[in-house]
């Protein structure tokens, strides 16, 4: 039983006795302001420099507040700056120009369907209501949208996804950082790690304990628990603290506590700093833990490259459509390659649980990539660590250790399904218009592994982006949160391209309310 044998990490202590360099780093409760001496004083402190943190920082700075944004990494922008830049907005200006009919209700229905009805309705409604305010805000900050493109992302009833001119999250982050840095008396400080909250006698958050010159170390099993770098400082936040530190897809301990199927050595589509440290400190302060078990995996990723990588570009619109995936142990297909993310990730996990190194493979051929930008395809295919080129099915069989018979049988069965318009796994083969899987190479092969992509759960916030306390059922005074560190907006599963929407809107709202 594979996942019994992986128990070592969970055994006794999650990181095992004696493996921690200094377990007392974070072992304290939030300090009271009367027990500390403040080194600096600001109006607002924002933790995190991605979409949500910058939106909050800019919005509140424009109201005249002195804002300090903390970023623990050496690089600004977390996952946001490596994001694809797609942002869905119902009733957006580009839809209008193109005559696409959309509505807030339709947007909410789409999100609720993906979220299995578990979305917190008041948060979802806030997204639907404030979409165009977010658009206006971003344009004012210098974000340049591609005004001719409104994409139709999976799970959305209509095309409603905008993108920046440069098709990247950096198209938001760079202008926002530039704008923020122009504002007098504000600062974005890198390598500044949040350690804990400072509270007053009424439980109000009045500051943060941080470490400067922090050197994040991905080689540690848990950077949050083990990293002793940096110098301590106590910062006063007169008006409030905004938590915008993102999700925990790269937190080996906390993601595994929610889903023990995730091996420690599995990569994620996220940047290395996406850990649960700030989230857990907020729970420790009494914030409600909400829907933390829901982790979204990308079934289109590969173990043969780091992070999000190039594989998703080739598999999603390529090999998964014009091609298929097989279990290397028998050469058989094992999923509808176009099913939703959860269904496909679960199918891949099932194989990897039975045989931890038997990564399934996606198989395609040159024609498979015809819907994708040729420059992207060229670049991705040239990565021979990621993509295997095989001249024939025999070569795939010998190179990847797949039984040739099974592989041939899969081609036959798949093509019969296309002819009959009825795929054995329910793949919508009508989309292929009778186009069969090619019986001659060359073939392109990519090994597959589900990678943690987005953590749905987190802190409970209200429509004002205030963090609610389990001690009172009311907001924790002085504490706000926005983006992936919060839970509830997306329910069980976030629809593609709603992350930026969520981060910008609730970041903006936090800034408005401080």
Identity of the residue, 374 or 473, whose beta carbon is nearer to a second copy in the bound complex: 473
| Closest CB 294 distance from a second copy, rounded Å | 6
- Give burial (CB, 10 Å; 0-12/13-18/19+) of 371: exposed
| H/E element, 466 | strand 466-468
Identity of the residue, 100 or 220, whose beta carbon is nearer to a second copy in the bound complex: 220
Identity of the residue, 201 or 357, whose beta carbon is nearer to a second copy in the bound complex: 201
The CA-based angle 119-122-123, given to 5 degrees, is 65
Dihedral sign from CA coordinates of 102, 92, 466, 54: positive
Identity of the residue, 296 or 316, whose beta carbon is nearer to a second copy in the bound complex: 296
| Closest CB 330 distance from a second copy, rounded Å | 20
* Long-range pairs, 146-154, Cβ under 8 A, ≥24: 147/93, 147/94, 147/97, 148/94, 149/94, 150/92, 150/94, 150/95, 150/98, 150/100, 151/86, 151/497, 153/86, 153/88, 153/495, 153/496, 153/497, 154/340, 154/495, 154/496
| Closest CB 423 distance from a second copy, rounded Å | 19
Identity of the residue, 43 or 327, whose beta carbon is nearer to a second copy in the bound complex: 327
**C-alpha closest to that of 51 among 15, 76, 14:** 76
Q: Which of 341, 344, 447, 494 is catalytic?
A: 341
| Closest CB 112 distance from a second copy, rounded Å | 8
| Closest CB 227 distance from a second copy, rounded Å | 13
Q: Say how many Å lie between the first and final Cα of the chain, rounded.
A: 52
Angle of helix 51-61 relative to helix 499-513, nearest 10 degrees?
Answer: 30
Q: How many CB atoms lie within 10 A of CB 482?
A: 30
The CA-based angle 399-342-117, given to 5 degrees, is 175
Identity of the residue, 9 or 314, whose beta carbon is nearer to a second copy in the bound complex: 9
Identify whether 447 is a catalytic site residue.
Answer: no
CA dist 124 and 492 (Å) reads 13
Q: How many CA atoms lie within 13 A of 368 on its CB side?
A: 30
Helix (H, G, I), strand (E, B) or coil at 277: helix
Specify whether the CB–CB gap between 297 and 341 falls below 8 A. Answer: yes
* φ/ψ bin of 458: left (φ > 0), alpha (ψ from -120 to 50), beta (otherwise): left
| Closest CB 490 distance from a second copy, rounded Å | 12
| Closest CB 16 distance from a second copy, rounded Å | 8
Identity of the residue, 19 or 170, whose beta carbon is nearer to a second copy in the bound complex: 19
Q: Which residues are catalytic?
A: 341
């Amino acid at each position: 039983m594979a996942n019994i044998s992986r128990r070592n990490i969970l055994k006794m202590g999650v990181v095992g006795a004696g493996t921690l360099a200094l377990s007392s780093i974070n072992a304290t409760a939030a300090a009271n302001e009367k027990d500390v001496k403040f080194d600096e004083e600001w109006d607002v402190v924002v933790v995190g420099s991605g979409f949500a943190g910058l939106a909050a920082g800019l919005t509140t700075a424009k109201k005249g507040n002195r804002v300090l944004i903390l970023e623990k990494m050496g690089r600004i922008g977390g996952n946001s700056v490596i994001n694809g830049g797609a942002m869905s907005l119902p009733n957006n200006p580009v839809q209008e120009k193109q005559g696409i009919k959309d509505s807030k209700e339709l947007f909410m229905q789409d999100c609720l369907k993906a979220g299995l009805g578990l979305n917190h309705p008041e948060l979802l409604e806030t997204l639907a209501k404030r979409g165009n305010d977010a658009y206006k805000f971003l344009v004012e900050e210098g974000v340049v949208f591609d005004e001719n493109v409104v994409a139709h992302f999976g799970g959305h009833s209509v095309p409603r996804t905008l993108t920046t001119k440069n098709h990247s999250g950096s198209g938001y982050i760079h202008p926002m950082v530039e704008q923020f840095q122009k504002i007098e008396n504000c600062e974005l400080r890198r390598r500044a790690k949040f350690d804990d909250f400072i509270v007053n006698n009424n439980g109000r958050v009045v500051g943060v304990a941080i470490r400067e010159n922090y050197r994040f170390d991905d080689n540690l099993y848990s950077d949050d628990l083990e990293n002793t770098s940096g110098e301590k400082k106590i910062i006063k936040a007169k008006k409030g603290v905004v938590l915008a530190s993102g999700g925990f897809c790269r937190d080996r301990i906390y993601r595994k506590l929610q889903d023990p199927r995730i091996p420690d050595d599995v990569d994620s589509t996220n940047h290395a700093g996406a850990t649960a440290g700030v989230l857990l400190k907020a729970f420790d302060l009494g914030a409600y833990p909400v829907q933390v078990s829901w982790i979204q995996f990308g079934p289109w990723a590969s173990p043969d490259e780091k992070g999000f990588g190039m594989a998703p570009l080739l598999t999603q619109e390529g090999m998964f459509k014009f091609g298929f995936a097989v279990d290397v142990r028998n050469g058989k297909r094992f999923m509808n390659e176009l099913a939703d993310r959860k269904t496909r990730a679960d199918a891949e996990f099932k194989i990897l649980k039975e045989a931890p190194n038997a990564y399934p493979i996606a198989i395609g051929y040159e024609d498979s990539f015809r819907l994708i930008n040729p420059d992207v395809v060229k670049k991705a295919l040239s990565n021979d660590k990621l993509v295997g080129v095989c001249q024939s099915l025999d070569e795939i069989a010998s190179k990847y250790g797949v039984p040739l018979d099974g592989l041939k049988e899969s081609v036959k069965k798949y093509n019969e399904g296309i002819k009959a318009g009825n795929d054995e796994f329910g793949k919508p083969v009508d989309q292929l218009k009778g186009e069969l899987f090619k019986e001659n190479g060359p073939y392109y092969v990519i090994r597959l592994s589900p990678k943690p992509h987005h953590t749905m759960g987190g802190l409970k916030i209200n429509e004002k982006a205030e963090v609610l306390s389990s001690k009172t059922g009311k907001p924790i005074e002085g504490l706000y949160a926005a983006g992936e560190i919060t839970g509830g907006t997306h329910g069980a599963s976030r629809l593609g391209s709603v992350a930026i929407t969520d981060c910008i809107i609730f970041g903006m709202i936090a800034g408005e309310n401080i």
